[in-house]
Amino acid sequence: MSDRNAAWHVLEIHYDNPQSHTSIVDTSGIHIQLVQKKASSQMKNFIPAGFLWVGVGLNQMSIPPKKKSYHLQAKCQYKNIPSNGITVFAFINHAHLLGRKLWTSLERDGKYQHDMGCDAQYNFDLQQILPFEKKVKLYSKDTLYANCVYDSTERTEVTPG
């Protein structure tokens, strides 16, 4: 069985207002209740998961106007990853409206290993969490490089993060 067929659940809620209506007021909500079943065979395989943010802080971003292809790269290191590593099984890319291409590169022992989470045709309106074809093991000595390519040709001023 491939990793894409493994059982896992993720809830992502992303609000979008593509026409920028100022009169829209969101009053939605959600209530989730987890119930543990006695001696459930599925609970034996339960593995808690979390998020690992890879990217540049918004206060460090500045995209100049009138650029068809403006590339930003953020170097990310995670010294608090346990010595036995963590397993990454999915990704979500996010770059707001100017984003066009997004990917993350993995470097181990100073050597490029591979890209992961690549989206060469990023669309702000199609954000989703996607599983990797194969899980990726990350260690505290690894370096991740978040790469974002922006198109600011329609902007007349600098776009801050």
The 10s digit of each residue's pLDDT in 77-102 is: 999 999 999 999 899 898 889 999 99
Asked whether residue 44 is domain-assigned, the answer is: no
CB 74 within 8 A of CB 145: yes
Asked whether residue 46 is domain-assigned, the answer is: no
How many domains does the structure of the chain reveal? 1
**Top-confidence residue, 69 or 8:** 69
- Reference 53, options 16, 80, 71; nearest CA is 80
- Reference 132, options 97, 100, 87, 69; nearest CA is 87
Tell me the whole-structure pTM to 2 decimals. 0.75
Asked whether residue 34 is domain-assigned, the answer is: no
Asked whether residue 120 is domain-assigned, the answer is: yes
How large is the average pLDDT for residues 15-35?
80
Asked whether residue 72 is domain-assigned, the answer is: yes
CATH number at residue 121: 2.60.120.230
How large is the average pLDDT for residues 103-114?
96
The overall average pLDDT reported for the chain is 85
Q: How crowded is residue 55: how many other Cβ atoms within 10 Å of its Cβ?
A: 20
Dig out the tokens for 130 from the structure.
């996607």
Instruction: Quote the pLDDT of residue 85.
Output: 95
DSSP state of 158: -
69 pLDDT exceeds 70?
yes
Asked whether residue 110 is domain-assigned, the answer is: yes
Asked whether residue 40 is domain-assigned, the answer is: no
Asked whether residue 93 is domain-assigned, the answer is: yes
18 pLDDT exceeds 80?
no
How large is the average pLDDT for residues 19-27?
84
pLDDT-derived band at 110 (thresholds 50, 70, 90) equals: very high
Residue 78's domain comprises 3-14+52-160
39 pLDDT exceeds 70?
no
